[in-house]
Chain A
């Protein structure tokens, strides 16, 4: 299947700063790809290149099968990190304008504006000036502007930054709806735990270089630690039966939970079953390194080498 996004040996330099170095990337149709990395790692530069806002010094960028990205912009939705609206323009005309820019007729853009404003609980704001809205309301308007034409590819640069949990959940649901519709999502975030919840593919950037590229499933399988997390059914439960298991090296209390370190040759899934039989548990799982742990480890390894 043809990639939705394809980068080959892409480099970009701003003066003496190298923003991207020889980057290769493939995004398959229907994926939710998280671009992760600290500030200055090249995420925004990469996203701007996907929309031809910046052109690479070297390498090739293809989006939806075209190297001339301007030709497919009407099939792409973009929510930039630097979000803005026309302060004096009213909400309704702004969204209709954005819809028409993406190829919708005036009538269709008007219908979709009404529908989306209701979906985002902003139906009563249609005649208000964008500049008079709260930050959260403005963010929802900007999100509608990115989605109104039902794009095939949605590029979201830090879509959850500065949002309260309720609004973050609302937008995450909207993005997942788009994904179910068949839209491919590329989103950047430095909130790695949020990427773990939403993304099925992760690309980590560090100083313009790709340091990790894989599905979340692959990365999690690779990052299994030799530790179990157990939460007993009762607060005063005795952990001795688990400590006595031959594969267990050490058990440590961690609040309500027990952290059980296994011997090097132990099979975690087998010990998990034995532990559940030994003591009544409400939760038992093999501990995995978080994406943040993974990122820190990879970066340290690269810097050491």
Chain B
């Protein structure tokens, strides 16, 4: 029996993971990671390349020569020439003194004006003070402004923000994993029914073995998918100053596995009752609000983890399956007893959905007519 389950599971993994569409899904996060890293490496060079045209070594023409030294003191990295010493086309800026004693600063690009004017102004002032017999340093000390700076305790806010970001990331990852896995199971079940290969399979294995094998195979597929998104995310998290501990990663992985098993069992059961793609789309459409509601729950819990409501959502079924992994990465992680309670609730829910999904699967596999209504379905389940 175990061997047959493994054979079914192996086929599910091979035939799903090796499909071009799935490979694209797997490669997307890796591609994004490579892009982010490439951007991180290339960004400084890019900034330099796109940077201001007036660089430290730019040419500044200063007239008259008496201004050269003070300006050089204010702009030590500039190449400073006296009047007429350089070609006009190579000039980046020019400082001249008119007959009225006003200093003019001309620059090639307006962006450079502020820094240059400030430096020249400073230099000219120093020179004027010097000529007036005033020590510029003494004057500067005597006229030093009182600078008032605000300071606030933002570490708590930062931690909250980090928790919210991580929590939202975890809930999005869970949502995507459940969405993709559910879709895979639904389509795989529907394909077997639609191709009529299901009866050949059932001639070789029991429906229970087929169900468990399919679930095991698709679980591996879903974990490969989750790893392809989760591992790059874990690598990126420290780069932006965040951190998730290995125990927390393990706990989230456990919740993910149990969530996937329960959800996929239900999807396989529902998928077996459907006959074509149109019915499948309808079913996915009906499930989507529920899935999106889970994302909102995740976002809410991630944003306000300390609220009693968030704590309750984290331990009570059915939301605990989704909310507890989010709470685990929040800035106020729950105590261990709450984690254990949430895991027990999630396991119990998964057991119920697996039982229900298996019963539906057995009933629906050979069904050729339209899906039954809920009343008929319950009657069938009772009689089976």
Listed stretches A80-88, A166-174, A232-240, A285-293; interface member:
A80-88
Residues from chain A with a CB closer than 8 A to the CB of B15 are 86, 88-89
* Inter-chain contact A52/B203, CB cutoff 8 Å: no
- Decide if A249 is an interface residue (CB 8 Å cutoff): no
Q: Does A266 contact B (CB under 8 A)?
A: no
Known A86-B195, A88-B15; judge A78-B366 contact (CB<8 A): no
A70 nearest in chain B by CB position: B206
Among B4-12, B62-70, B233-241, the stretch that binds chain A is B4-12
CB of A83 within 8 A of CB of B196, answer yes
Complex interface residues of chain B between 17 and 53 (CB less than 8 A to chain A): 19
Convert B190-202 into 0s and 1s, putting 1 for each residue whose CB lies closer than 8 angstroms to a CB of A: 0110011111111
Query: How close is B20's CB to chain A, nearest CB, in angstroms?
Result: 11
- Cβ-defined contact, B203 with A142, below 8 A: no
When distances are taken between beta carbons in the complex, the residues of chain A under 8 Å from B198 are 84
Tell me if A78 and B206 are in contact (CB < 8 A): no
- B170 to chain A minimum Cβ distance, whole angstroms, is 34
On whether A73 and B204 interact (CB within 8 A), knowing A86-B191, A97-B11, the answer reads yes
> Which residues of chain A are near B191, meaning CB under 8 Å?
86-87
Complex Cα distance A86/B192, Å? 7
Q: Does B205 contact A (CB under 8 A)?
A: yes
Count: A-B pairs, CB below 8 Å: 70
Chain B positions within 8 Å of A77 at CB level? 203
Chain A nearest CB: distance from B369 CB in Å? 10
CB within 8 A of A84: which of B3, B19, B199? B199
- The reply to whether A53 and B204 contact each other, CB–CB distance below 8 Å, is no
| Interchain nearest-CB distance for A113 vs B (Å) | 15
* A144 CB to nearest chain B CB (Å): 11
Residues of A within 8 A of B11 (CB): 97
Q: Are A53 and B202 in contact (CB under 8 A)?
A: yes
Q: Are A80 and B206 in contact (CB under 8 A)?
A: no
B299 CB → nearest A CB, Å: 38
Residue among A48, A79, A101, A103 with the highest chain B CB neighbour number at 10 A: A101
- Give the interface centre of A53, A54, A79 by most chain B CB atoms within 10 Å: A53
Q: How far is the CA of A146 from the CA of B3 in the complex (A)?
A: 19
Could you tell me the distance between the alpha carbons of A207 and B360 in the complex, rounded to whole angstroms? 29
Chain B residues within 8 Å of A48, by CB: 366
Would you give the shortest CB distance from B11 to chain A, in whole angstroms?
5
B197 pairs with A86, CB closer than 8 A: yes
Q: By the criterion CB–CB under 8 Å, are A80 and B195 in contact?
A: no
Check if A7 is an interface residue, CB within 8 A of chain B: no
Contacts of A53 in B (CB 8 A): 199, 202-203, 366
Across-interface contacts of A85 in B (CB, < 8 A): 195, 197, 200
Shortest Cβ distance from B14 into A: residue: A93
Of listed B3, B19, B192, B196, residue having the most chain A CB within 10 A:
B196
**Are the C-beta atoms of A101 and B197 separated by less than 8 Å?**
no
For A44-75 the 0/1 string (1 means CB < 8 A from B) is 00001001111000000000000000100110
Interface of B, secondary structure class, is helix
A100 at the B interface (CB under 8 A): yes
**A87 to B197 CA separation, bound complex (whole angstroms):** 10
> Interface residues of A toward B: which range?
20 to 34
A98 at the A/B interface (Cβ < 8 Å)? yes
Give the residue of A82, A101, A142 whose beta carbon is less than 8 angstroms from that of B7.
A101
Nearest CB of B to A174, in Å? 17
Closest chain A residue to B383, Cβ basis:
A57
Question: Are A101 and B199 within 8 A (Cβ)?
Answer: no
Contacts of A97 in B (CB 8 A): 7, 11
- Tell me the residues in window 178-225 of chain B with beta carbons closer than 8 Å to chain A beta carbons: 191-192, 195-206, 209
A98 to B7, CA, bound (A): 9
Contact A100 B203 (CB under 8 A): no
Residues of B within 8 A of A82 (CB): 196, 199
What string of 1s and 0s marks CB contacts (under 8 Å) between B359-384 and chain A? 00000001000000000000000000
* B195 A98 Cβ-Cβ under 8 A: no
User: In the assembled complex, which residues on chain A have CB atoms less than 8 Å from the CB atom of B204?
Assistant: 73-74, 78, 98, 101-102
Query: For the complex, is A145 an interface residue (Cβ under 8 Å from B)?
Result: yes
Q: Is A76 an interface residue (CB 8 A)?
A: yes
Residues on B with C-beta less than 8 A from A78 are: 199-200, 203-204
Cβ contact of B200, chosen from A76, A84, A103, cutoff 8 A: A84
CB-CB nearest in chain B for A82: B196
Which residues of B are found within 8 Å of A142, using beta-carbon distances? Answer: 200
Rounded to whole Å, the gap between the CB of A270 and the closest CB of chain B is 52
Contacting pair A84 B195 (CB below 8 A): yes
Instruction: Let me know if B202 and A51 touch, CB within 8 A.
Output: yes
**A69 to B, closest residue via Cβ:** B206
- Whether A87 contacts B195 by the Cβ 8 Å rule is yes
B202: A residues at CB distance < 8 A: 51, 53
Kindly state the separation between the CA atoms of A83 and B197 in the bound complex, as whole angstroms.
6
Cβ < 8 Å to B, chain A residues 91-106: 93, 97-98, 100-103
Contact (Cβ within 8 A) A73 B197: no
B206 touches A101 (CB 8 A): no
Question: In the bound complex, how far is the Cα of B201 from the Cα of A84, in angstroms?
Answer: 10
What's the Cα separation between A83 and B200 when bound, in Å? Answer: 7
- CB neighbours (8 Å) of A74 from chain B are 204
Instruction: Select from chain A the residue with minimum beta-carbon distance to B195.
Output: A84
Q: Tell me if A146 and B197 are in contact (CB < 8 A).
A: no
Q: Which residues of A contact B7 (CB under 8 A)?
A: 97, 100-101
**Additional 19 contacts, C-beta under 8 A, given A54-B366, A73-B206:** A51-B202, A53-B199, A53-B203, A70-B209, A73-B204, A73-B205, A78-B200, A80-B196, A80-B200, A82-B199, A86-B195, A98-B204, A100-B7, A101-B8, A101-B201, A103-B3, A145-B200, A146-B200, A155-B203
Which residues of A pack against B, CB within 8 Å?
Answer: 48, 51-54, 70, 73-74, 76-80, 82-89, 93, 97-98, 100-103, 142, 145-146, 155
Can you list 8 residue pairs at the A/B interface with Cβ under 8 Å? A52-B206, A70-B209, A73-B205, A77-B203, A78-B203, A80-B196, A86-B195, A100-B7
3 A-B pairs with least C-beta separation: A84-B196, A78-B203, A84-B197
